[in-house]
C-alpha cells in the first residue's frame, strides 16, 4: 500500500454532530473470545479499522470463520479452529494479537504467539499475562522470540490470583487470563483486575453467551470455567477515546461539536478536564455537546491513571489542546512514562512544551502554525491532526496508517464537521 498523508488547512471552528463508532479496544478481545463460543457469534457496532482487519485475518488463519455481514457487523464461528500460532508478522503489526493466547489455551490447550516487543510509546511488558496464565496451570517457555504455552487436558485449574503490576492493573492481562480461565476447571478469581469499560464489555459478552463472570467493572473478577458458551448477538460499546478526540477537536478549534452515540458515563475524567479548562458541556447518557462559549480558559494539571481516572489514550490529544490554553499546564503520564513522542512534532507547530521524566509542562501560546509533521503512533497522530485543525496555514500529517489503526474514517468525519482536510499520497 502506498503511504498516505492527511493535509489540513487549519483555523476553522468545527460545528455539528458526529456519530461515534464502536470501540476498537473492546472489539478486539471480543473477537478473540468469540472462538470460545460454540456456534456463530454476531458482533455489531464493530469499527472498520486496520487493527480489526488484522485480528480478523489472524482468526481466519487459525481456522475460524470471520465474515463482515454488514458495514459494522462481523460473524465469527470458531468451530473449525485448528491453528495455534500468531506469527511475528501479525504481532509486530498489532500487539493486541496477544489476545489469542488465552482463547487458544482454553480451546486447544496450546498456543504459540510471537512475543510483542516495545513500541513507539515505550516498553510494553507482558509479564502479567504470563504470570496469570501460569497461575492457572499453563506451562510457558520463551523460545526464538515466541511464547510457547501449553496446558494439556485438565491442566487449567481455577485459582485465586493477583494481577496487579507496578503501574496498576493491566487491561490486556486481565482479558487474556479471563479468556483462558473459561477453559479451566473450577472458578478463577482475579484480584487487581483492570476496571476499564473494555474489560467490563468482555465480561458482559461472556455472560451474554451463557458464561458466568462476576464483578464486571470492579477490581475482582470471578470466572466460572468449563461452562458451555452458545452463539448469539452482541453489540460492542462505543469508543470512548474516539468520542474524547472529537470533543477535543471542537474545543481546540473553538467550535461546537456533539459526539452522538457515545457513553458519557465512561468518559467522566475527560469531561471533568474539559469543563475545568472552561468548556461548556451538555451531557446526556449517549451524547455530549461541547460548545465554546468564548469564556476564559484556564490551565490544568492532568495525571493519567487507570480507569476511571484520566486515560493515557487521551493524553496526547489533551496536550494538543493545552498548547493553546493560556497559562502553564502540566501533564503527568503514569501508565507509559515515555509516551511523549508527539511533543517534538508539536514543538514544530510552535507549541511551548518542556519535557521532563514522565511529565511535561505546557506554556499556552496564542497560536500554532502549520507544518509537515510525522505520525508515530495511534494517539500521537490524532494529537497532530487536532493541532493541525487549529494551526494557521497547512499541516501535513505523514504516515497516517497509524491513525487508520484506531479511527474510522477520521478525515471524512472531521470534514462533515466543516474541517478542510483531505488525504493524498505521501512522497516516499
Measured distance CA(81)–CA(428) in Å, rounded: 40
CB nearer to ligand UD1: give 337 or 347.
Answer: 337
Nearest distance, CB of residue 97 and ligand UD1, angstroms: 10
Q: How far apart are CA 257 and CA 274, in angstroms?
A: 13
Query: Which is nearer to ligand UD1, 27 or 262 (by Cβ)?
Result: 27
Rg (CA), the chain: 21
Please count the CA atoms within 13 angstroms of the CA of 257 that sit on its side-chain side.
29
User: Which one is catalytic: 66, 119, 203, 292?
Assistant: 119
Is-catalytic flag, 203? no
Which CB, 20 or 292, lies closer to ligand UD1? 20
Q: How far apart are CA 119 and CA 97, in angstroms?
A: 14
Residue 159 CB, shortest distance to ligand UD1, in Å, is 18
Minimum distance from residue 51 beta carbon to ligand UD1 (Å): 8
Which of 341, 375, 309 has its CA nearest to residue 169?
309
**Which CB atom, from 171 or from 297, has the smaller least distance to ligand UD1?**
171
The two most distant CA atoms of the chain are separated, in Å, by 65
Q: How far is CA 112 from the centre of its chain?
A: 24
Cβ distance to ligand UD1 smaller for residue 191 or 298? 191
Instruction: Give me the least distance between CB of 86 and ligand UD1, in Å please.
Output: 14
Question: Smallest distance, Å, CB 337 to ligand UD1?
Answer: 8
Contacts of 120-123 spanning 24+ positions with Cβ under 8 A: 120/341, 120/376, 120/377, 120/380, 121/336, 121/338, 121/339, 121/341, 121/377, 121/380, 122/336, 122/337, 122/338, 122/339, 123/338
Q: Could you list the residues that contact ligand UD1 (CB under 6 A)?
A: 25, 28, 96, 124-129, 165-167, 170-173, 194, 198, 312-313, 335-336
- Active site members: 119
Amino acid at each position: 500500500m502506498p503511504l498516505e498523508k492527511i493535509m489540513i488547512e487549519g483555523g476553522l471552528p468545527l460545528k455539528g454532530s458526529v456519530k461515534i463508532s464502536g470501540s476498537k479496544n473492546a472489539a478486539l478481545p471480543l473477537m478473540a473470545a468469540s472462538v470460545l463460543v460454540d456456534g456463530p457469534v454476531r458482533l455489531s457496532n464493530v469499527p472498520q479499522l486496520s487493527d480489526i482487519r488484522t485480528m480478523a485475518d489472524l482468526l481466519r488463519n487459525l481456522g475460524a470463520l470471520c465474515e463482515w455481514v454488514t458495514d459494522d457487523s462481523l460473524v465469527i464461528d470458531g468451530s473449525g479452529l485448528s491453528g495455534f500460532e500468531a506469527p511475528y508478522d501479525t504481532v509486530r503489526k498489532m500487539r493486541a494479537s496477544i489476545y489469542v493466547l488465552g482463547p487458544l489455551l482454553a480451546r486447544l490447550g496450546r498456543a504459540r504467539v510471537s512475543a510483542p516487543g516495545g513500541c513507539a510509546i515505550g516498553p510494553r511488558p507482558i509479564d502479567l499475562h504470563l504470570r496469570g496464565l501460569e497461575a492457572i496451570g499453563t506451562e510457558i517457555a520463551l523460545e526464538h522470540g515466541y511464547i510457547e504455552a501449553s496446558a494439556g487436558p485438565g491442566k487449567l485449574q481455577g485459582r485465586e490470583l493477583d494481577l496487579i503490576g507496578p503501574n496498576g492493573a493491566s487491561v490486556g492481562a486481565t482479558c487474556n487470563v479471563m479468556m483462558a480461565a473459561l477453559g479451566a476447571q473450577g472458578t478463577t478469581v482475579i484480584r487487581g483486575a483492570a476496571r476499564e469499560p473494555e474489560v467490563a464489555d468482555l465480561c458482559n459478552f461472556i455472560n451474554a453467551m451463557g458464561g458466568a463472570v462476576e464483578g464486571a467493572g470492579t477490581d475482582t473478577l470471578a470466572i466460572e470455567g468449563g461452562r458451555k458458551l452458545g452463539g448469539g448477538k452482541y453489540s460492542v460499546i462505543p469508543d470512548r477515546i474516539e468520542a474524547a478526540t472529537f470533543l477535543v477537536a471542537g474545543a481546540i478549534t473553538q467550535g461546537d461539536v456533539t459526539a452522538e452515540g457515545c457513553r458519557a458515563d465512561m468518559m467522566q475524567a475527560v469531561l471533568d478536564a474539559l469543563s475545568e479548562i472552561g468548556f461548556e458541556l451538555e451531557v446526556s447518557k449517549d451524547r455530549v455537546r461541547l460548545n465554546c462559549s468564548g469564556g476564559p480558559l484556564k490551565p490544568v494539571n492532568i495525571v493519567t491513571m487507570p480507569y476511571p481516572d484520566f486515560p493515557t489514550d487521551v493524553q496526547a490529544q489533551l496536550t494538543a489542546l493545552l498548547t493553546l490554553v493560556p497559562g502553564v499546564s502540566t501533564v503527568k503520564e503514569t501508565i507509559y512514562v515515555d509516551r511523549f513522542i508527539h511533543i517534538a512534532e508539536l514543538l514544530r507547530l510552535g507549541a511551548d512544551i518542556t519535557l521532563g521524566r514522565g511529565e511535561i509542562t505546557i506554556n499556552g501560546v496564542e497560536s500554532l502554525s502549520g507544518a509537515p509533521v510525522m505520525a508515530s503512533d495511534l494517539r500521537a497522530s490524532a494529537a497532530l491532526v487536532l493541532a493541525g485543525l487549529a494551526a494557521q496555514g497547512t499541516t501535513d500529517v505523514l504516515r497516517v496508517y497509524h491513525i487508520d489503526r484506531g479511527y474510522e474514517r477520521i478525515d471524512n468525519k472531521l470534514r462533515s464537521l466543516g474541517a478542510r482536510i483531505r488525504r493524498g499520497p505521501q512522497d516516499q
